[in-house]
């Protein structure tokens, strides 16, 4: 059984998805972290972000490991932990360029489907309900106003000691939404059978509760 959570940048998907996974006993998979890990490596190795073939080669040479832990998911590329580095603003600014390439999306999709084959997952991203796991039993499209999303990112960056500018963050989030929604391959889109959840003004716990409720209703209806 799988739970797919999609939505725009900063809607709280990863925080919520992690808590939902904990409550229902599933493995949490943050697909954005995979695109971020590739972007980080490409920036480090000076692979041009427009070079699709170069990025495919790079991705195939990497082993991206997502490790669930008490303090959240840790991300490794091979033996190197990149959990914090992939959240760096430079990665955030460039990740949509990398995620646009059809061949990269295909490679990622194969990796993500394999992860979901082996275990029950809560997977978050942009195209999980529409492309990666179209038959996920529970699909949620999580949104929030752009003001609220920028505020949340601002607080998150500040708490980690990264300098942040609220109006710049708002612009960057709007640009990322635009790039993610307008790309040709697997754009950010709400699946037809997804439940739309607007988290503006809701607490994390309230959002988690709603998704767990959806999951329990689905389990119940399958028993009948
Ligand atoms: O969720 P996030 O902000 O960490 O995602 C980083 C970027 O990766 C986001 O701008 C779009 C891309 N992404 C994607 O295209 N498809 C996914 N399934 C997950 C993320």
Q: Each residue of 28-77: pLDDT tens digit?
A: 999 999 999 999 999 999 999 999 999 999 999 999 999 988 778 999 99
Q: Cβ contacts of residue 133 below 8 Å, gap of 6+?
A: 2, 4, 112, 113, 116, 123
Q: What CATH architecture is 2-218?
A: 3-Layer(aba) Sandwich (3.40)
In this prediction, residue 121 carries a pLDDT of: 96
pLDDT band at 103 (very low <50, low <70, confident <90, very high): very high
* Pocket of ligand 1 contains residue 125 by CB under 6 Å: yes
In this prediction, residue 22 carries a pLDDT of: 94
Q: Which structure tokens are listed for 204?
A: 């994390």
* Pocket of ligand 1 contains residue 96 by CB under 6 Å: yes
Q: Which residue is associated with the tokens 């809560």? A: 122
In this prediction, residue 224 carries a pLDDT of: 66
Q: Which structure tokens are listed for 214?
A: 């959806």
What is the rounded average pLDDT for all residues in the chain? 94
* Pocket of ligand 1 contains residue 12 by CB under 6 Å: no
**Quick one: DSSP state of residue 162?**
-
What are the residues facing 74 on neighbouring strands? 67
What is the C-alpha separation between 219 and 30, in angstroms, rounded? 23
Candidate from 5, 126, 140 with most ligand 1 atoms within 8 A of CB, to mutate: 126
**Quick one: DSSP state of residue 45?**
T
Residues of the chain with pLDDT > 90, as a percent, come to: 80
Q: Which structure tokens are listed for 175?
A: 């640009």
The number of C-alpha atoms within 13 Å of 114 and in the hemisphere containing its C-beta is: 7
Q: Each residue of 138-195: pLDDT tens digit?
A: 999 999 999 999 998 899 889 888 888 999 999 999 998 998 899 988 899 999 999 9
- Please report, for the chain, the start and end positions of each structural domain, with discontinuous segments joined by +: 2-218
When pLDDT is averaged across residues 112-131 and rounded to a whole number, the result is 95
In this prediction, residue 156 carries a pLDDT of: 84
Candidate from 7, 9, 55, 99 with most ligand 1 atoms within 8 A of CB, to mutate: 99
Q: Phi first, then psi: what are they for 141, rounded to 5°? A: -110, 105
């Amino acid at each position: 059984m799988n739970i797919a959570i999609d939505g725009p940048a900063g809607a709280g998907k990863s925080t919520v998805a992690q808590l939902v996974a904990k409550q229902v006993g599933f493995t949490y998979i943050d697909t954005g972290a995979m695109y971020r890990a590739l972007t980080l490596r490409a920036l480090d190795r000076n692979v041009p972000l427009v070079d699709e073939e170069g990025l495919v080669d790079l991705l195939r040479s990497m082993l991206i490991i997502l490790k669930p832990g008490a303090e959240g998911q840790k991300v490794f590329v091979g033996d190197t932990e990149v959990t914090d580095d992939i959240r760096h603003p430079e990665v955030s600014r460039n990740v949509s360029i990398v995620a646009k390439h059809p061949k990269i999306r295909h490679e990622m999709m194969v990796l993500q489907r394999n992860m979901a084959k082996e275990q029950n997952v809560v997977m978050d991203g942009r195209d999980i309900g529409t492309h990666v796991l179209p038959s996920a039993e529970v699909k949620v499209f999580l949104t929030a106003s752009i003001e609220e999303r920028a505020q949340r990112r601002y607080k998150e960056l500040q708490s980690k000691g990264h300098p942040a500018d609220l109006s710049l963050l708002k612009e960057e989030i709007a640009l990322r939404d635009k790039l993610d929604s307008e790309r040709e391959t697997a754009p950010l889109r709400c699946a037809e059978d997804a439940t739309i959840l607007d988290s503006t003004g809701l607490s994390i716990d309230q959002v988690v509760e709603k998704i767990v409720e959806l999951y329990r209703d689905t389990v119940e209806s399958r028993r009948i």
